[in-house]
Chains A and B, each alone.
Chain A
Amino acid sequence: MNSLRAAMTATWNYAGSVTTASLGPGVALHVVSGKGGTGKTTVSAAVALALASQGRRTLLMEVEGRQGIAQLFDVPPLPYQERKVAVAPGGGEVWALAVDAEDALLDYLEIFYNLRRAGSALRRMGAVDFATTIAPGLRDVLLTGKAIEVVRRTDKAAPDAYDAVVLDAPPTGRICRFLNVNSEVSGLAKVGPIRNHADLVMSVIASPRTAVHLVSLLEEMPVQETIDAVAELRENRLPVGGIFVNMTRPPMLTEEQLDQAREGRLPAEQIAALAQQAGLRQDAATVAAALVLEGQDHAQRVDLERRELQRIADLGLPTLTLPLLADGIDLGGLYALAGILREGGVR
């Protein structure tokens, strides 16, 4: 944990390229998107834990049918039912829910049409799947609708209310369509329950109670997708939260050393002598040449990452960096990331 924090501060400790503002006070629904594979599920879970560690009862939701949360918390596959998956050091709890469009549709049929049994029959026929396939907007309004239902429990002071909901959302390419349920269902029933449902969903999603965060890596394509997604979200008047820059690696050389490497000024002879004195038995000149080359590669990579980080900083959004955990993500790693998020101002 200490070494993690040291890594964090070492990573981006240079002038003004990262803004860290507190992320999320007053937000009831945190939506986490990003290019596939950047760490959406991991970061969503870490955000949920960070909130719980401040004593908040938090619900972590997934909608892509991948059972990513269960894998991460090492619990059996989640049913369509809220389950407690973790207790944070501050006493807050993380609950989890894997939302399934079919189940959500059956709920919906029951509530609005009193059609539970017919619904089950339709499901057995594969008709529910068919319906959500020909009308992808229906699927999305059902999934987001579930998140909104949970958020609104607070308004009703329901006993099963949560202080915050974190939604592990679809990737950047689909996020606007996913959230913009109003236009999604515009082709569907023009009046009636679905329409009303969409309006209700929109009234929460397009409000300051929601924040859409984006996860990125310091690589060209994920950063470009992040920039494009921010523009699209803003165009659609959806509330952009912050950027989580994931899997960062700290530079292992100081600024001056990096300069030396960039300018080809790494002193091979001295390095050779020092390495030999320090007990390396391999041919000193070869060792030095190799170390010089590795230093140059490293400087190049650091420069590339900084260029990408600058492009993110130019967005002017609250930005938090998370380190690449060398041994991958286990429960301990998740708590470590949550600690960093909390310190970084996730509220």
Chain B
Amino acid sequence: MRTSGVRLDAPLLGIDELLADEGVRIIVCTGAGGVGKTTTAAAVALRAAESGRRVCVMTIDPARRLAQAMGLRSLDNTPRQVPGVTSPDGSGSLHAMMLDMKRTFDEVVEAHADPERARAILANPFYQALSSSFAGTQEYMAMEKLGQLRARADAEGTWDLIVVDTPPSRSALDFLDAPERLGSFLDGRFIRVLTAPARGAGRGIGKLAAMGFGLFTNVLNKILGAQVLVDVGTFVAAIDTTFGGFRERADATYALLKDRGTAFVVVAAPERDALREASYFVERLEADDMPLAGLVLNRVQQVTLPEVTPEQALAAADRISDEDGSDARSDAGLTAALLRLHADRQRIAARQRHLAERFTAAHPGVAATTVPALPGDVHDLDGLREVGAYLADPC
């Protein structure tokens, strides 16, 4: 009886067709903060597993109860099988993990440096700051982890689908841009300058030398203290010789995202800011020729009786109140209140529809689906199944 209050004038994003396509090996759920990326990623992954795919879902920052429901009690950075999840024929499975960015970074270091050098890097103060708090590290490590999971899936045949959630960034585009930014920062000219003595002076300095390399280090040393630049220099020198070029690593994963086996699902809430963010993202994917599956409009107002308009409902409520007084305890008072509630929900739905129409008008080719705002949080597998069902068929 319930229907989504927001029907989109867009081709339907058929989640089940997407999941049935074995060529699709990676699904990335992205969008502004708080719109339901993690929920969508988990729901898509569960639905895929229950339709027979062997799935690994990487979540970032899931709500506590949802993490527990998926068996993610500790943040151990390793995919764990979610017990009891399979398809009717028994072929499907679901592994889930929660990203630990610091640990991922540490593992990269340990995998690529000899033990002694790895120890030196891990103990470096600049590395510690970089791996735990640098803006963009989380995005970079999400990409890195995706690359690792994909390599493991290819090598061991463990998974045929990887679903990734993206970090709660300020902007959805950060997921695409931060790794590159971090890569260029680490490969950048100031870093080169700082490590120049270790590589033979002159290289990479160019114009900077003319401007006075002395001034640069002088001022930085004054305000930061000499140790900071020394730490940065040692870190970069150590890391550079062990695994050539952060940027190259970032580029490799970026290429994976452009692959036809990848599908981006952009999640938005029916709010102005979230839809604007979704627009930016869609445009960016188009510009970069990246594979967009479509838009999930999450948490839309459900409407139970679209044929009774807000005006009709309010008029009826007023009539009841006039005739029978406004005693809240009577059935009349109750009916009037329910009619006002109905009008309120319809109005919210109308406003959301209006916002969504602006998006679909600007991006007419983009497939879309809606998920209603459920009355409670989504914090268990049944809740995820419900979201998954709406994703496939918004009614």
Interface residues of A (CB under 8 A from B): 35-37, 105, 108-109, 113, 115, 118-119, 121-122, 125-127, 130-131, 133-136, 138, 177, 187-190, 192, 194, 219-221, 224, 252-254, 256-257, 260, 266-267, 270-271, 274-275, 277-280, 282, 286-287, 289-295, 297-298, 300-301, 304, 326, 328
A136 and B215 contacting across the interface, CB-CB below 8 Å: no
Top 8 closest pairs, chain A to chain B, by CB:
A189-B225, A290-B305, A278-B316, A300-B375, A290-B304, A291-B338, A270-B331, A274-B335
Give the complex CA separation of A35 and B225 in angstroms.
Answer: 33
* Chain A residues positioned under 8 Å from B211 (CB to CB): 121, 125
* Chain B residues positioned under 8 Å from A256 (CB to CB): 328-329
* Chain B residues positioned under 8 Å from A37 (CB to CB): 32-34, 273
B190 and A130 contacting across the interface, CB-CB below 8 Å: yes
Partner of B376, one of A125, A277, A280, A300: A300
Main secondary structure of the interface of B (DSSP, over half): helix
- The interface size of chain B toward A, counting residues with CB under 8 Å, comes to 67
B395 sits at the interface (CB 8 A): no
Of residues B224, B304, B338, which shows the largest number of chain A Cβ atoms within 10 Å of its Cβ? B338
B225 and A221 contacting across the interface, CB-CB below 8 Å: no
Q: With contacts A127-B216, A130-B190, A134-B126 known, is A257 near B225, CB below 8 A?
A: no
B305 and A286 contacting across the interface, CB-CB below 8 Å: yes
A271 and B228 contacting across the interface, CB-CB below 8 Å: no
* Chain B residues positioned under 8 Å from A260 (CB to CB): 334
B199 sits at the interface (CB 8 A): no
* Chain A residues positioned under 8 Å from B219 (CB to CB): 109, 113, 115, 118-119, 122, 127
Residue ID in chain B nearest A328 by CB atoms: B272
Q: With contacts A37-B33, A220-B65 known, is A289 near B1, CB below 8 A?
A: yes
* Chain B residues positioned under 8 Å from A115 (CB to CB): 219
Extra inter-chain contacts (6) besides given A36-B170, A122-B219, CB under 8 Å:
A187-B125, A189-B223, A194-B225, A266-B334, A279-B316, A301-B375
B342 sits at the interface (CB 8 A): yes
Give the complex CA separation of A252 and B347 in angstroms.
Answer: 14
Residue ID in chain B nearest A252 by CB atoms: B341
Within 8 A of A (CB), among B1-57: 1-2, 32-34
A271 and B272 contacting across the interface, CB-CB below 8 Å: no
Binds A, one of B78-86, B242-250, B307-315, B362-370: B307-315
Q: With contacts A37-B33, A135-B228, A253-B341 known, is A275 near B316, CB below 8 A?
A: yes
* Chain A residues positioned under 8 Å from B129 (CB to CB): 135-136, 187
Give the complex CA separation of A270 and B336 in angstroms.
Answer: 12
* Chain A residues positioned under 8 Å from B317 (CB to CB): 278
How far apart are A222's CB and chain B's nearest CB, in angstroms? 8
Of residues A219, A294, A295, which shows the largest number of chain B Cβ atoms within 10 Å of its Cβ? A294
How far apart are A132's CB and chain B's nearest CB, in angstroms? 10
B185 sits at the interface (CB 8 A): yes
* Chain B residues positioned under 8 Å from A286 (CB to CB): 305
* Chain B residues positioned under 8 Å from A35 (CB to CB): 34
B126 and A293 contacting across the interface, CB-CB below 8 Å: no
Q: Mark B219-232, 1 if CB is under 8 A from A, else 0.
A: 11011110110001
Partner of A220, one of B216, B222, B307, B377: B377
B240 sits at the interface (CB 8 A): no
* Chain B residues positioned under 8 Å from A298 (CB to CB): 341, 375
Q: With contacts A219-B377, A278-B317 known, is A135 near B224, CB below 8 A?
A: yes
How far apart are B98's CB and chain A's nearest CB, in angstroms? 15
Q: With contacts A133-B185, A220-B65, A278-B316 known, is A138 near B223, CB below 8 A?
A: yes
* Chain B residues positioned under 8 Å from A274 (CB to CB): 320, 331-332, 335
* Chain A residues positioned under 8 Å from B34 (CB to CB): 35-37, 221
Within 8 A of A (CB), among B350-364: 351
Give the complex CA separation of A109 and B134 in angstroms.
Answer: 24
How far apart are B300's CB and chain A's nearest CB, in angstroms? 14
Partner of B63, one of A221, A254, A280, A291: A221
Give the complex CA separation of A139 and B191 in angstroms.
Answer: 19
Partner of B305, one of A126, A131, A271, A282: A282
Q: With contacts A127-B216, A274-B320 known, is A291 near B339, CB below 8 A?
A: yes
Partner of A280, one of B64, B316, B337, B340: B316
How far apart are A14's CB and chain B's nearest CB, in angstroms? 15
B258 sits at the interface (CB 8 A): no
A295 and B338 contacting across the interface, CB-CB below 8 Å: yes
Give the complex CA separation of A138 and B332 in angstroms.
Answer: 65
B148 sits at the interface (CB 8 A): no
B208 sits at the interface (CB 8 A): yes
Partner of B331, one of A109, A267, A293: A267
How far apart are A29's CB and chain B's nearest CB, in angstroms? 24
Give the complex CA separation of A121 and B208 in angstroms.
Answer: 11
Give the complex CA separation of A188 and B226 in angstroms.
Answer: 8
